Amino acid sequence: MVTCAFRLANVSELSRRRRSVFLPSSNSRKIVGKSGLSQEMWLFGRKGPSGFSSASTAEEVTNGIDASGLTAIVTGATSGIGSETARVLALRGVHVVMGVRNMVAGKEVKETIVKQIPAAKVDAMELDLSSLASVRKFASEFTSSGRPLNILINNAGVMAPPFKLSQDNIELQFATNHLGHFLLANLLLDTMKKTARETKREGRIVNVSSEAHRISYEEGIRFDKLNDREEYKRWGAYGQSKLANVLHANELARRLKDEGANITANSLHPGVITTNLFRHLGVFEGMVSTLGRLVLKNVQQGASTTCYVALRPELKGVSGEYFSDNNLAKASAKAADTDLAKKLWQFSLDLIKK
């Protein structure tokens, strides 16, 4: 469900602050990531070093992959790229557990997938990422089921709503997009480590972020003003939550490496897709929906980078990286700030302990 609409929704600020992020030159600029993979800025549908591009679909990037025997949790799987991610993983043999807020919608998605793929293994479990109690209940029930867990895809989210606090009195976008997933990953880590040890197969944690992580508040994360209604800016808060997704994946990758755990953690930008995340934008929603058919990614393309990072065998051992359009990409300087990542980790731990 999570995607980035920022490019269209805030064009003037985009031009002022991060124009080069969204309008790369026709000449590719090569970068080498932490894992040694080469990356280039690719214009439109031109293929990158991986052999895929922004136009590649989730089915295309997973073609030929047999993921039988793997179990994955996908949050926010009732619509948009979340449901497409669940469908394609199931198509490749993964047992998919959809973490969904609306169980009626979850059941409908499950029935649709099974109708298309009779052999699909799909389950739906209730999960509201904006509620820490709901996250704890989901994790407890999943752990009690005895299921293994190979892949955790943190996909659910909200985008640019008016100011609101969660049930736990935390700004809604930060609570849903970051903190709920932070707690979920922490609670499921032991299960993932056990699965990786017993199966000798690498576990993968995938945070669906956004290029909007580049337009967070000036200080990056507003630790002291998280719930400040007067200074709340819906796009700044959205960018803050997406920056937190990248920082979380990076710090988690560092900790897992230090532990010697056979689990990777990465983040990604799915592209700009018209989904129900636009529901808070009023009249702009209709304009985006109309224009989106012409210039934005479709859902099949939007889910591709998530599926690429979750399943591609050549990414074995690649951790703490940021991906876009099915290729390695370069996140912002703030996203690469290890001190900020450590501070966010401790801040998040303190919040979930309250």
Residue 352 to residue 165: CA distance in whole angstroms: 15
Two tokens, residue 32? 């080498």
Burial class for 45, CB neighbours closer than 10 Å (0-12, 13-18, 19+): exposed
Structure tokens at 139: 């994790």
CA atoms lying within 13 Å on the CB side of residue 81: 32
Please give the Cα distance from 322 to 137 (Å, whole number): 30
Cα–Cα distance for residue pair 73/39, rounded to 1 Å: 28
Angle at 244 between CA 28 and CA 161, to 5 degrees: 100
Residue with tokens 């690469």: 336
Instruction: Sort 22 into a burial class: Cβ within 10 Å, 0-12 / 13-18 / 19+.
Output: middle
- Looking up tokens 């995938």 gives 206
CA distance 344 to 245: 10
Are 146 and 66 in contact by the 8 Å Cβ rule? The answer is no
Q: Backbone phi, then psi, for 97, in 5-degree steps? A: -110, 115
Known catalytic residues are 232
CA distance 135 to 7: 31
Cβ atoms of residues 271 and 54 within 8 Å: yes
Q: 326, 351, 343, 350: which is closest to 250 by C-alpha?
A: 343
Whole-angstrom Cα distance, residue 9 to residue 175?
22
Residues 210/4, Cβ–Cβ less than 8 Å: yes
